[in-house]
Structure formats: structure tokens, C-alpha cells
Amino acid sequence: MPERTESESRKLLRRLRDVLAVPGKGQDRLDSITHLIADSMGTEVCSIYLFRDPETLELCATEGLKKEAVHQTRMKLGEGLVGRVARGGAPVNTANAPAERGFRFMPETGEEIFSSFLGVPIQRVGEKLGVLVVQSKEARGFSEDEVYAVEVVAMVLAEMTELGAFTGDDGAMKALHRQPVMFRGTQGQEGAAEGRVWLHEPRVVVTNPVADDPLTEIDRIREAVGVLRVSIDDLLEAQELDKDQKQVLEAYRMFAHSRGWLRRMEEDIMRGLSAEAAVEKEQSAARARMEQVADAYLRERLHDLDDLSNRLLRILTGQGRDTGAEMPDNPVLVARNIGPAELLEYGRRLRGVVLEEGSVGSHAAIVARALAIPLVIHAERISGEALNGDAILVDGDQGIVHLRPEETVARAFRDKIAMQAEAQKRYASLRGLPAQGTCGTVVALDMNAGLMADLPSLDSSGAEGVGLFRTELQFLIRNKMPKRAELASLYTRVMDAAQGQRVVFRTLDIGSDKVLTYMKPSDEPNPAMGWRAIRVGLDKPGVLRMQVQALIRAAAGRPLTIMFPFVAEHAEFAEARSHVLRELHRERSLGHPAPERLEIGAMCETPSLAFAPRAFFELADFISVGGNDLKQFFFAADRENERVRRRYDTLNLSFLGFLEGIVARAAEAGTPLSFCGEDAGRPVEAVALAALGFRRLSMRPASIGPVKALIRRVNLVEAREVIEAARARGAETARAALMDWLATQAG
């Protein structure tokens, strides 16, 4: 690139920095900047469009367009050329703007006389802030150097926006990190919590976006990249790394040694950016590309580059994860994403968790449920908006987060929490009483668990046992396969804590959304219906046998209950059961005591098992309907897909009729039957399930009180009649009829 252009670019940035250094109102600064850029670029127009909300851009300053259009002209994301730049995160450069796809004519701006158009996004590490536009009457495309120069200026504007350079009460931007913001995400774990933000990875603050001495900045970036490369090499030499971990670090090393990555950052510096700003410019570009790439592998590689940029920024700024800030007494964790082991390290100190990514079946969601922590996922952009110590309200029931809430919102939220606490007191008074309907029918209520920390809830919740102990959590939180002795020790502690109450141990349920980092991943187009759960156990019998051995040794002569997940046909269950019986014989021969009583059951999570031969129902010691998976396969609605997972009602009469068939077949064979899943813990759904004939329900501990309270208020025989009447009327769902009927029952 010619030295003249480089000097002009640096000169523009220095002038821009001088303008920003002068005290003044936010709007005055925006106006000065548009004048400066238009003058430096030799264009008749420079305009700055900023987001007023996630979907709306507003013309906030201009040189060359009509001044009366400022703060009046608005457009939606994707609308017009400006909206197209904002949506795609990439420049639009055209010599004939009116002829471009999606052009929107805005007569109030007077822009019809300007033919050429260059728009670049103003964005900071994935956070879209606005669009910078230059226009001229001459019909020409802007050169590559001109595009690059405007991109560099936009990067500085993004950094200065982050630092509050354009805030004020004069029509400019509202101050970042100060205004109340509501994020509408997805429910990951029910519950409500009030607390203070604790960022899992505190944001790196860049305070010097413009370089004083490019050569010094290039020395800094080269030195920092060298430190980064050495740190990755050191990690790769660690002996305890397994193959998959090394593959991830190899990808990191490939990017760290990429000449193109370093060259692009050096070019950014020569155009006037500081080393930190150059890293963030390339990181923002990677984030923008991530949003456009459909291929999962390429997205993952771009994510690697994103993570690597964060490491480099921390080296350059010295801002590590440990910022010296003290965790508040009531921390709510905010992060883009988090692994199960990291979440467990925080443990029950957390009041809530808010993630930008994740899924309802992710490892973090599983751990949050086990810890009974309210969780909201898909809260987009919150990690960029939140600061450590910010007040935050987490509504896991609705999937809503209020950051820096107004006092009226906070008061209403506290009232909700107080009402929930009062209800819990009422439920506590029922702890020693049975879930017995007014008709005399008794329903056993068990709790789900997956960690030792869950077991105290057996007593406090009034649960009659553990209907599901998820053994996979102990595999997910490790970076290598646990040993048999470790598992036996854990299972022993679980049985000891249960104090003789029944614990149903579900064998390893991995695959689908639960992937072990130390097992070779299988690239499957539909993992929920792929190689998972019992299929893995039967294909890798060594792991299954080790787990069964650990369970037998942990029982030490006590009763033992084992359940196999995701059974699709009779033969699978029979084969898995034979493994248990062989291991039982082997353990006896080694001198280990046999369980006093051994129950071997299956989870009915596939519709096919409901139609298995009678021999299956007779062979199984018990059956537990896994409602979450069974419902997704019955309705062909992926429960990880936010568009469809709530589309179909559990109380749909077709689904209830299907469940009735399972109840009838189990009763005919004399096989104990239970229902396990989210719906078991929802009081209205629980009443419907009990009315259909389920006499054992398993749910999270916090749901036992509400479910028991409602069951004790109603006549389950009448509830069955309400369902039948709805079916006779040709209704699609029994929900409305049940809700109307419940409203008439005694309080």
C-alpha cells in the first residue's frame, strides 16, 4: 500500500482523536466527526446511523444531507442499503445506489442527487452499533484503500461509543452500560432471582484506539503474538491432554501462526489503529463472518479465532480474567457460554445464570437444573452490555432478564419472589403428607438428581425417593473417563445420603446434546435420533460394564435399581439386561456381595417401545416414561429448536391417548410405571397424568410442593372425566377444560 495513503489514513485518525478529545456534547461531537470525515475523504456526504433499538437505525448526524432529517429518518434492520450493511455486517460499495437491490429512497434527506454510496458497519466484537456512510454526486465506486480507511474510522467510532464519547441528553446516544435494558431469551431453568452481575469473562476495555507511533504498536502486536504462540505450545506439551483437546489447541496454534492474521492486524496499525483496536477489528470481522456461515465446522473455526483474539487482547492490555473485582454476595453469572465443570466450580453460590448461547439440553442447563439455579439462555448481547456489579433480575419462568431495572420493575419482581417464598412455606407444611387426591388415589412423587448436592432435597422437598439419578454428569464434568473406583465411591455416597430410599440410577445417557470431550465425536445430521444412550452402551460395552460393576459394588448388599435410557425395542433391553446379570455373576465370583434386591427397568422415550411385544413389559421390572424425548418424537418437534419446541401441547388429546395406551399395557403385564420429565413437575400436567393412571411421577425437587398441593385439592376420577368429556366434544387439547374445572375446585 502506498505510504501517502497510509499517512493520510493516520492523519485522519489523529484529527478524529483531537475532535473527540475536546469537551463537548455528544451531538456536537457527532456533527464534527461527519464534517471531518467528509472533508478528509473528499466526499459531499458523511452520515452516521446508530441503533436506537436492536431493530431500528436512526440518522444521528450528517454532513451534506438535510439537517432536518437528523433524528427523524429511521429504518428497520435490513431496510435500504444502510439496513443491509447493518444486517450483513459487511460494506456496501456502489457507484449507482438507486439501482442497487433493496435501495430505499428517503426524500426527507435530499440524498437523491448523490449517486455513489459506501456504507460500513460500526461494530465492536459482535455488537452492532450502527453504520457509517459516505456519498458523492460522482458515479464512482470507492477504491479498496478508501473502503479500508472508512472501516478503520468506523472501528474507532465503535471504541469511542463504548467509552461513552457520544452520549448526552441532546438527541445523541444514550449512555452505554447505564440504561435499564430488558433481554428476552429462552427459559432454561425455572425460578426467579435478584442479584448483581458477575461476568464469567470480563470484557476487555480498549482505551487507546488510535496509535501515536505505528512502529511501536507493530512491535507490541508481534511481541504479544509471540507470547500467545509460546503459551499455546506450552499447553500442547502438557502430558495430560487427550487427543481431542490437542486437536482444539492445534487449531489455535494454526491461527496463532497464521501470517495472514498478523499481516491484517499490522495493516490496520499502519492505517492508524492501536494494537488493541487492530485485534478487535479483526475479531469483529470474524464475528460478522460467523453469522453468515452455515457450515458448522467453519463456524467452529471462526469461534476458535474469536477466542484466540480474546487471549491476545488480554496479553496486550494485561486485563486477565481476574480483574481484582470481588464477587458480590448475590452473584448472577453472565456469559456467552460456559462448560459444566466451570459452572459447578461456582456451585450454589450463584443466584442465577444468564447465557447468550446454549440450549435447553446443554451441559450448562443440565447442571443449572441440578443446582436449582434459574437459567435464561439466548439472551443476545447481554455479555457486551452488562458490567460487573450491575443490578439484574432473572425470570427463568418467562425467559426474561432485566439489567439495571427501574425501581417499579424491581418492586414488582420482588413481590413475585415474595409470593413464591410464601407459597414454598405452604408447601413445606405438606412435606410429610401424601399426594392423595380427594378421591383417595395416592400418587408417589420422586425427585430427579444428578449431583451429590441434590440429595439433601430428598428430605427438604418431601420426595419419596430419587426417580432418576443422571449418571452422565460425572462423565461430562471431567476431561477424561472416570475410573470404576471413582464411580463406585460416588454411587456409595448417593445411596448413603438416600438413607434407604429408592434411587433409580439411569445408565450413561450421552450423545445428542450431551457430548463427552474425550470421546471421538460422531458427525451426525440428527444427533437426537442418532448414536446415543443405550446404543452407545451396547456398542461400547466396556463402559457399560464398568458402570454396572461400580453400581453393584456401591450397593454393597443393599437394594439396587438400574434403568436403561432410550430403549427402542425389546431386543436392546434384553441385551442390556443380560450385561447386568453377567456382571452380577462376575462380582459374586470376586467376593462382592450381591444386591439384596435388583430392579432392572427401561425408559420409554421412543414411540416404538410403546408397541413392543408383551414379553418386554413382562421382562422389565419397571418402566419410566421419559416425557421430554417421547413428546418430541411423538410430535416430530425437536425440543432443541426454539421455533417448534413449544408448538405442541402436552395435554393434546392425541398424546394423552397415546400415554393411556402405555398405562394400559403396563397394567396388563403388572409392570410398575412412572412418568419422568418437565411435565411431571407442572401441576396441571401432573394432575392430568395422575388422572390417566400414572401412580408415580418424578420431577425436580422444587416442583414437588406445588404438584402435591394441587393433587391434594382435586378428585382425580373427576379429572379423568373432564378429559374424556373434552375428547367426546372433539377438542384438540384438554387444557382449557381442565383449567376451567380446576378453577371451580376448593382452594
In this structure, of 124-133, 499-508, 545-554, the range with the lowest mean pLDDT score is: 124-133
Calpha distance 111→115 (Å, rounded) = 8
Calpha distance 633→640 (Å, rounded) = 12
Regarding whether 739 and 658 lie in a shared domain, the answer is yes
* 3 state DSSP class of 448: strand
* Mean pLDDT of all residues belonging to the chain: 83
pLDDT digits (tens, 9 = 90+) for 727-747: 999 999 999 999 999 998 855
CA dihedral 290, 292, 297, 302 (to 10 degrees): -20
Look up the domain containing 610 and give its range: 421-519+527-743
Half-sphere exposure (Cβ direction) of 535: Cα atoms closer than 13 Å? 13
Q: Evaluate whether residue 119 is within a structural domain.
A: yes
What mean pLDDT do residues 665-675 have? 96
Q: Are 64 and 135 in contact (CB under 8 A)?
A: yes
CATH number of the domain bearing residue 264: 1.10.274.10
Q: Evaluate whether residue 274 is within a structural domain.
A: yes
Question: Among residues 46, 60, 363, 579, which one is catalytic?
Answer: 363
pLDDT digits (tens, 9 = 90+) for 159-192: 776 655 565 554 445 555 567 888 988 888 888 8
Q: Identify which has the larger pLDDT, 313 or 194.
A: 194
State residue 738's pLDDT score. Answer: 95
Helix (H) or strand (E) holding 655: helix 653-669
Contact residues for 62 (Cβ-Cβ < 8 A; gap 6+):
34, 45, 46, 47, 48, 69, 70, 109
| 526: phi then psi, degrees, rounded to nearest 5 | -140, 80
What cell was used for 321? Answer: 480474567
With cut-offs at 50, 70 and 90, classify the pLDDT of residue 104.
confident
Calpha distance 716→738 (Å, rounded) = 11
Regarding whether 585 and 491 lie in a shared domain, the answer is yes
Calpha distance 342→363 (Å, rounded) = 11
pLDDT reading at 406 higher than 80: yes
CA dihedral 250, 252, 255, 258 (to 10 degrees): -60
Q: Identify which has the larger pLDDT, 550 or 113.
A: 550
Q: What is the DSSP letter of 327?
A: P
State residue 675's pLDDT score. Answer: 97
Regarding whether 355 and 295 lie in a shared domain, the answer is no
CATH number of the domain bearing residue 392: 3.50.30.10
Regarding whether 430 and 371 lie in a shared domain, the answer is no
CATH number of the domain bearing residue 29: 3.30.450.40
Q: How many domains does the chain have?
A: 4
Helix ranges restricted to H, 407-540? 407-428, 457-461, 473-476, 484-498, 534-539
Q: Evaluate whether residue 193 is within a structural domain.
A: yes
Q: Are 49 and 59 in contact (CB under 8 A)?
A: yes
What mean pLDDT do residues 222-250 have? 73
State residue 162's pLDDT score. Answer: 62
Q: Evaluate whether residue 604 is within a structural domain.
A: yes
Q: Kindly report the number of other CB atoms within 10 A of residue 429's CB atom.
A: 10
State residue 4's pLDDT score. Answer: 38
Q: Evaluate whether residue 172 is within a structural domain.
A: no
Calpha distance 512→531 (Å, rounded) = 8
Report CA torsion sign: 260, 266, 271, 274. Answer: positive
State residue 319's pLDDT score. Answer: 63
What mean pLDDT do residues 473-478 have? 71
pLDDT reading at 621 higher than 90: yes
Q: Which of 285, 366, 375, 282 is nearest to 334 (CA)?
A: 375
pLDDT reading at 108 higher than 60: yes
Helix (H) or strand (E) holding 702: helix 701-711
pLDDT digits (tens, 9 = 90+) for 418-438: 887 788 788 888 888 999 999
Q: Evaluate whether residue 209 is within a structural domain.
A: no
* 3 state DSSP class of 569: coil
Regarding whether 579 and 458 lie in a shared domain, the answer is yes
Q: List C-alpha distances in Å: 167 to 114, 170, 183, 275.
A: 30, 8, 22, 26
In this structure, of 70-74, 371-375, 483-487, the range with the lowest mean pLDDT score is: 371-375
Share of the chain above pLDDT 90, in %: 36
Regarding whether 147 and 289 lie in a shared domain, the answer is no
Task: Please name every residue paired with 123 in a beta bridge, in sequence order, or none if there are none.
Answer: 128
Regarding whether 441 and 397 lie in a shared domain, the answer is no
Q: Identify which has the larger pLDDT, 213 or 556.
A: 556
* 3 state DSSP class of 562: strand
Asked which of 287, 317, 347 is the last residue of a domain, the reply is 317
What mean pLDDT do residues 297-313 have? 69
pLDDT reading at 653 higher than 60: yes
Regarding whether 435 and 405 lie in a shared domain, the answer is no
- Whose grid coordinates read 500467545? 228
State residue 3's pLDDT score. Answer: 43
| 61: phi then psi, degrees, rounded to nearest 5 | -165, 150
Asked which of 371, 391, 413 is the last residue of a domain, the reply is 413
What mean pLDDT do residues 142-165 have? 78
CATH number of the domain bearing residue 669: 3.20.20.60
Q: Which of 357, 422, 414 is nearest to 383 (CA)?
A: 357
Phi-psi region of 462 (alpha: psi -120 to 50; beta: other; left: phi over 0): left
Q: Are 375 and 352 in contact (CB under 8 A)?
A: yes
pLDDT digits (tens, 9 = 90+) for 25-56: 778 888 888 998 888 888 999 999 988 777 88
Q: Evaluate whether residue 189 is within a structural domain.
A: yes
pLDDT reading at 282 higher than 60: yes
Share of the chain above pLDDT 70, in %: 85
Regarding whether 642 and 561 lie in a shared domain, the answer is yes
Asked which of 298, 317, 336 is the last residue of a domain, the reply is 317
What mean pLDDT do residues 282-289 have? 74
Q: Evaluate whether residue 566 is within a structural domain.
A: yes
What is the pairing mode between strands 45-53 and 623-626? Answer: unpaired
Answer yes or no: 363 catalytic.
yes
Regarding whether 142 and 119 lie in a shared domain, the answer is yes
Amino acid identity of residue 320, one-letter, is G
pLDDT digits (tens, 9 = 90+) for 244-267: 556 666 777 777 787 888 888 888
What mean pLDDT do residues 77-94 have? 88
Residues 328-355, buried b or exposed e (16+ Cβ, 10 A)? Answer: bebbbbbbbbbbbebbbebeeebbbbbb
pLDDT digits (tens, 9 = 90+) for 496-539: 999 999 999 999 887 655 555 545 555 566 666 777 778 888 88
Question: Among residues 46, 60, 604, 676, which one is catalytic?
Answer: 676
Regarding whether 339 and 312 lie in a shared domain, the answer is no
Regarding whether 426 and 334 lie in a shared domain, the answer is no
Calpha distance 540→544 (Å, rounded) = 7
What mean pLDDT do residues 119-148 have? 85
Diameter of the chain measured on Cα atoms: 93
